[in-house]
């Protein structure tokens, strides 16, 4: 039997960083992404969105790749928002994303970080956050 435990913190933004994730859309989007992930056997430990971006903490299965999992989450969710006309504008995620491994002892820290996005963004813009994450990961 194979045992795999690979945690990944992934972040992506809306196309052109438009503030499309409204207070009304956010709970619907998060619930849908969790449900869709479960159907596709993607383990989402934590997920949260804030206005123009989304954070997830996920654990990869032994046959899953980061690129495929992130694409499944992004592509299906934007398609769902548009099919159900949940916002006036066209909803789309940027092609690019950030992803970095998370050691087991740091999982609770990343989980809390993702959970507290609204509080966090009272002090930092998405660009400042993204610059910090990429610099901290050594990119």
Q: What are 115-130's pLDDT values in tens digits?
A: 998 888 888 888 888 8
Long-range pairs, 27-31, Cβ under 8 A, ≥24 = 28/86, 29/77, 29/81, 29/86
Q: Left (φ > 0), alpha (ψ -120 to 50) or beta: where does 40 sit? A: alpha
* Reported confidence tier of residue 2, pLDDT bands at 50, 70, 90: confident
Report the C-alpha gap between 101 and 10 in whole angstroms: 9
Residue pLDDT, tens place only, 80-123? 999 999 999 999 999 999 999 999 999 999 999 999 988 888 88
Mean pLDDT on 127-135: 84
Greater model confidence, 28 or 2: 28
Q: pTM here?
A: 0.91
* CA-CA-CA-CA dihedral for 115, 117, 119, 124, to nearest 10: 150
Percent of the chain predicted with pLDDT > 70? 100
- Domains of the chain: residue spans and CATH: 6-134 (3.30.70.1290)
- Residue 134 confidence class, pLDDT cut points 50, 70, 90: confident
> So what's the pLDDT on residue 88?
94
Chain-centre distance of CA 109, in angstroms? 16
What pLDDT, on the 0 to 100 scale, is given for residue 119? 86
């Amino acid at each position: 039997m194979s045992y795999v435990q690979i945690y990944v913190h992934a972040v992506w933004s809306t196309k052109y960083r438009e503030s499309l994730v409204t207070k009304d859309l956010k709970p619907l989007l998060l619930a849908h992404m969790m449900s869709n992930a479960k159907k596709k056997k993607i383990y989402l430990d934590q997920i949260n969105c804030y206005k123009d971006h989304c954070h997830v903490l996920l654990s990869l299965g032994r046959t899953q790749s980061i690129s495929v999992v992130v694409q499944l989450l992004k592509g299906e969710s934007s398609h769902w928002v548009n099919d159900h006309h949940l916002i006036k504008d066209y909803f789309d995620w940027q092609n690019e994303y950030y992803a970095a491994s998370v050691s087991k002892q740091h999982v609770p820290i990343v989980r809390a970080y993702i959970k507290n996005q609204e509080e966090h963004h009272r002090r930092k813009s998405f660009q400042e956050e993204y610059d910090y994450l990429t610099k901290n990961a050594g990119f």
